[in-house]
Amino acid sequence: MIGAWRVWPGWRGRADTPELGSAATRPLAVIAGRRYARGRSHRSGSRPLSRRAALLPALIVAVGLAATAAPLLLRNAVDAAVPADLRVATSRLVVDRDERLLRAFQVEDGLWRLPVTRADVDPLYVAMLQASEDRRFAEHRGVDATALVRAAFQLATSGRIVSGGSTLTMQVVRLAERRHTRTVGGKFGQIVGALALERYAGKDDILDAYLRLAPFGGNVEGVRSAALAYLGKEPRRLTPAEAALLVALPQAPEARRPDRHPERARIARDRVLDRAAAAGVISVADAEAAKREPVPKIRRAFPMLAPQTADRVVRETPAVGTIRLTLEAGLQGALEHLASERAKAIGPDVSVAILVADVASGEVLASVGSAGLFEERRDGFVDMTRAVRSPGSTLKPFIYGLAFEAGLAHPQTLVEDRPTAFAGYTPRNFDKTFQGTVTIRTALEMSLNVPAVQVLEAVGPARLVSRFRRAGVVPKLPDLAPAGLAVGLGGVGLTLHDLVTLYTALARGGHPLPLAERHGAIRPAKPAKPLMDERAAAYVTDILAGTPGAARGDRRLALKTGTSYGYRDAWAVGYDGRRVIGVWVGRPDGAPMPGLMGVDVAVPILGDAFVRAGGVGPLPPAPDGLLVASSADLPPPLRRLRGSRPAVVERDTGPAIAYPPNGARVDLAAGGGGRMPLALKLRNGRGPYTWFADGAPIGREPFAREFRYVPAGSGFVTLSVIDAEGRADRVTVFVE
C-alpha cells in the first residue's frame, strides 16, 4: 500500500517514513483502519474486533493490489483512446489592411467562435488563467493528481465544491468532445482523454484550443469572442479586471453572464483577482484597485464594417477562413457614419454610397455600400458601389480628354453651345439654356451638353467605349446596341466602382490600374496602353480643378458632378494626387427624386469624405510640354472645333415651367422633421421674370431660370411666372 502511494503522481508526502507521526501525515488507509477498529471495539467488545482485525491484512492487500493494477488499467485505456480532435469550425473573418476586424460570421450552429491563439491574447490573461485553473499546466501530463485529491477531499469534508480538479487539458477534452463529466464514468473518460491528448498535442496547441472553445454564455465561445462581446475590444491589451472577468466566466457561463447577472460576475471576477494576487501574478494593491472597476452590464454587437463588401468576398472565397482586405477600418467607420448621417438629412428613402481608392496603388481604402445595412426602407442591403446606374455627366472629362489626345481640341478651343440636331438627337443643357460660343474649358466646367456631344461626335462613341474597356471598365449598353452619342450624357450603365476606376486613371496621368480590395491578392496585369496620354489627362485635371465647388481651403480638387435623367442619381467624383473618392446619392429602387442633383447633395458629402480621409493634398504633377495659350494664340486648327453642326433656329416662345410639372406630387420631407426646398426651373421666355406662389411674389433673382422655394406648408400650391413680354405659364402641384 505504501508503495502504491509512492507511484501516484503529485503525492508529496514521505511514504517510507518509519514514524507516521500525526494523523495529517499518515496514509489514509491506516488512519481509516485504526478509526474503524477503535469504533467497533467500543461498541462490540474484543471478540468482534479480533475477527475484523484478522481481515485487515487481507483488506490492505486487496487495496494495494487495486492500487497497483490501476496504473496498468489506466495505461491500457489511454493506449486505446482516440485523442480529441482540436480542429473545430471557427467564425470566418474579414479584416482590414492592418488585420483589424471588419466583420465576423457565425459558424453553422449559430455560435460566435472567432479564431484565436495565445499570441492574440494579453499574457496577463494567460497567467491569471493558469493561476486560477491549472497552476501546474506546464508540468503535468494532462492530469494533476494533487489537484484531484485536494478537490475530492474538500468536497468530502465541506459538502461542496471548493476547488476544481480538472486541468485545462481535461477541460479541453470535455469541450471538444461535448462530454458529460458529472458521473464517475464521465470523469474517468475525461482523465483518459486528457492523458491521451497530451501524448499527441503540445501545450500551446491545448491552450489555443481552450482559448477557442471556452464558453462565455449564450452563443459566445472563445476568449476573443467574449472580449468583443462584453468588453468591446480585442483581448490583446486587457486590464487586470478585464482579464479576471474573462477567466471567471467559463466556469459558470450562464450563471455569470455579466449582461444578465452582473453581481455574480463581479463576485467570480474578484475571486480570480484574489487567486492571481496570491500566486504573485499581480500585486494585492492592483487586485484591490481592479475590484473597484465596474463589471460591463451589456453585450455589445460584433464589428460590422463594410458589411456588403465582406458578404461578397466571403461568398467568392468559400475556402478561406480569414480574408484580408485593403480597407482602412478607421476610415471605413468614419465614412459609414457620414453616409448614414447625410442620407437621413436628405430623405427617408435615400441611400448613399462612397468609394475611396489610393492613386498610387489602386487599393480600395473604404467602400460604403449604403446608408446602413439594416435600413430596410433605404434598401440598405444593396451594395450601391456595384449597382449599375446612369452616370449622368461624369463621363464628359473622358470625351474631352480623347479630343485633346487626338489633337482635335485644346482647353481654349472655341465650341458652339446652341440648339443643335445630331441625326434626330437634339440635346439640351440641364437648365434648358444655351451659352453661345464658349471655350472647351468653360464647356466642361459648366458641364454643357451640346458641346460635349459635338466633341463626342468628332471623337467617336465607339472609341470612347473602347478606351473604357482598356481600363477594365465594361459599360452596359441598352439592348446590346452599339454606342451612340447619348453615351456622353449618361446613356450607358456604369457602377460607382467603374467611375472610381476611370478617375483613378485620370489621377495617374491617364494610366489605368485595376482597383484592388483584397490584400496580397494576385491582380490583373496593368493595361499595356493608357486610357489617354499624360498631356490630355493633365489638361482634364486642370479644367476639373476649376469646377465650381472644387476649392478646398488653399487647395483644389479635380471635381466632376453628374445628375442622371429624371433626378434618379446624383454623383460627385474628385481626386487629388493621393486619393480618388466617388459619391453616389439616390434611391436604390431607381425612383426619381425631384431636385436631387450632384452639385447640391453629392459634393458636400465628397468634401467631408476628403476631410475624414486626411484632407486634400496637392494635385497630380503636370508633365512637361503643355501648351498654354489663349484661343487667339492657338494654331488655326485648334482655335475652333472643326465640323461643328449648324445651330437649329428655335422660334422665340413664352416662358414654360420645366419643373415641377403640372399636377405633380412632390415629397419635400427631410430627416429630422424638416423640409427640403422645391426646385423651380424655367425654359424659354425673356427676362426679367416674376414668380408667384398662390398669387404672392416669390424669388429675388429676376433673370434666374432656376431657384429654390420653400412652401409654407403641405397641400396644393399654384406656381406662375411672367416674363418681360407679359407672357406667362402656370402649374398646380401638391406638396407633401
Task: Give the residue numbers annotated as catalytic, written as ranges.
Answer: 133, 393
DSSP code for 109: T
**Packed helices 184-200 and 46-80: angle between N→C axes, nearest 10 degrees:** 40
Q: What cell does 353 get?
A: 454610397
* Euclidean distance between CA atoms 395 and 291, whole angstroms: 63
The residues near 45 (Cβ < 8 Å, ≥ 6 apart) are none
Q: Find residue 720's DSSP bridge partners.
A: 692, 730
The residues near 683 (Cβ < 8 Å, ≥ 6 apart) are 432, 433, 655, 656, 658, 705
Are 306 and 330 in contact by the 8 Å Cβ rule? The answer is: no
Are 444 and 400 in contact by the 8 Å Cβ rule? The answer is: yes
3-state secondary structure of 151: helix
Residue 11's Cβ-count burial label (10 Å; 0-12, 13-18, 19+) is middle
Place of cell 468588453: 231
Q: Where are the beta strands (DSSP E) in 383-525?
A: 414-417, 436-439
C-beta contacts of 27-35 below 8 A and 24+ residues apart? 27/1, 27/2, 29/1, 29/60, 29/63, 33/59, 33/60
* Euclidean distance between CA atoms 548 and 687, whole angstroms: 25
DSSP alpha helices (H): ranges in 163-322?
168-177, 184-200, 203-213, 223-226, 240-248, 262-278, 284-291, 307-316
The residues near 730 (Cβ < 8 Å, ≥ 6 apart) are 657, 718, 719, 720, 721
Q: What cell does 111 get?
A: 455560435
3-state secondary structure of 199: helix
Q: How many CB atoms lie within 10 A of CB 479?
A: 4
Are 736 and 714 in contact by the 8 Å Cβ rule? The answer is: yes
